[in-house]
Amino acid sequence: MNILRVKTQMTMLLTLLMTAASGVGCWAQDGAGGAYQASTIVFEKADDGFAMTIKGTMPPTFTTYQLFDPLRVVVDIANASFAESLHLPIEVNQAPINKITGTILAEKQPVIAKLEVLLSVDSKYTVKRNANDISIVFATEVKTPDEKTAKAAEEQAASAPPAASPEAKAEKTEEAAKSLAKGREGLSEIYDLKIRKEANTVNVLLVADGPVQEFTKVALPKGDGHPARMYVDIPGVKAPALIGRCRLMQLVSPGSG
């Protein structure tokens, strides 16, 4: 008995969004205690991007991480405050930085001075500590979604194999025809269909009088008033026993009689 097993598995995927944060960093320390005060923020162009530097009064203890909606980089400085000379928020409007806001979290122990750097586009960044200062350098080469798509298309075209010659295509077609003829040998009829259900899996077994070596299947999603369904096409085979048990269509090619 030869069996073609068509297996469909239905699964449910539950995605639980735990947090909107990514790239959370660890606290960076320099060993000194006492209250840190952020006095000013300086902006300048760097060799590898656009830099902002938070000037402070002593070595800081801080962490940086990225949040989304809105897209921003957050700097949390422990046991810190903002000097009167630092006027927040700051409208920057220099890509990729839009604006910088500041908040003091007095209920935290130690007190946290939070700076949020709102971005116009997603950008890679590096964080450096220089004595009393915190520097964040943003890469200026930022690709928009359209540019990323065009770049991916160029890379795909470059890696694609060269087009086959007419001779190679003809040879491939001949090999496919021989393979199809071989698959039909000894197989003429499907005489039974069995359905087995196991948990979330449905197995459809097609029982034939010979080995099933050539077939194609197409899965169609639910829509337009039709349920989700699958078509299985087995060339050169009859299935009179399945009439009335499933939707069956026999295609007769021209010249086959």
Is the pLDDT confidence value at 145 over 60? no
Q: Which residues are registered as beta bridge partners of 32?
A: none
Give the closest residue to 212 by CA, choosing from 184, 177, 240, 193.
184
Contact call for residues 212 and 2 (beta carbons, < 8 A): yes
Give the closest residue to 45 by CA, choosing from 90, 11, 2, 92.
92
What is the tens place of the pLDDT at every residue in 41-95? 999 998 878 999 999 999 999 999 999 889 999 999 999 999 999 999 999 999 8
Q: Which residues are registered as beta bridge partners of 152?
A: none
Mean pLDDT throughout 102-128? 94
Supply the pLDDT for residue 6. Answer: 46
Residue 22 confidence class, pLDDT cut points 50, 70, 90: very low
Phi, psi of 79 (to 5 degrees): 50, 55
* Record: fold of 36-148: Immunoglobulin-like (2.60.40)
Supply the pLDDT for residue 7. Answer: 43
Q: In 57-92, which positions are buried (b, 16+ CB within 10 angstroms) versus exposed (e)?
A: ebbbbbbbebbeeebbbbbbbbbbbbeeebeeebeb
Mean pLDDT throughout 106-129? 93
Supply the pLDDT for residue 13. Answer: 27
> Under DSSP, is residue 38 helix (H, G, I), strand (E, B) or coil?
strand
Supply the pLDDT for residue 216. Answer: 79
Q: Could you tell me the CA-to-CA distances from 68 to 15, 100, 123 in Å, in that order? A: 18, 15, 12
Supply the pLDDT for residue 148. Answer: 53
Supply the pLDDT for residue 19. Answer: 32
Written as one string, the DSSP assignment of 159-191 is HSPPPPPHHHHHHHHHHHHHHHHHHHTT--BEE
Q: Which H or E run includes 16?
A: none
Where do the structural domains in the chain lie, given as residue ranges?
A: 36-148, 186-257
Q: Could you tell me the CA-to-CA distances from 67 to 72, 75, 119 in Å, in that order? A: 5, 11, 10
Contact call for residues 28 and 63 (beta carbons, < 8 A): yes
The token pair at 222 is 């639910």
What is the tens place of the pLDDT at every residue in 185-244? 556 777 787 777 777 777 777 777 777 777 777 777 766 556 777 777 777 777 777 666
Is the pLDDT confidence value at 249 over 80? no
% of the chain residues with pLDDT over 70: 60
Contact call for residues 173 and 180 (beta carbons, < 8 A): no
Would you say how long the chain is, in residues? 257
Phi, psi of 100 (to 5 degrees): -125, 130
Strands 229-233 and 216-220: antiparallel
Answer with the residue of higher pLDDT: 98 or 14: 98
> Under DSSP, is residue 146 helix (H, G, I), strand (E, B) or coil?
helix
Is the pLDDT confidence value at 257 over 50? no
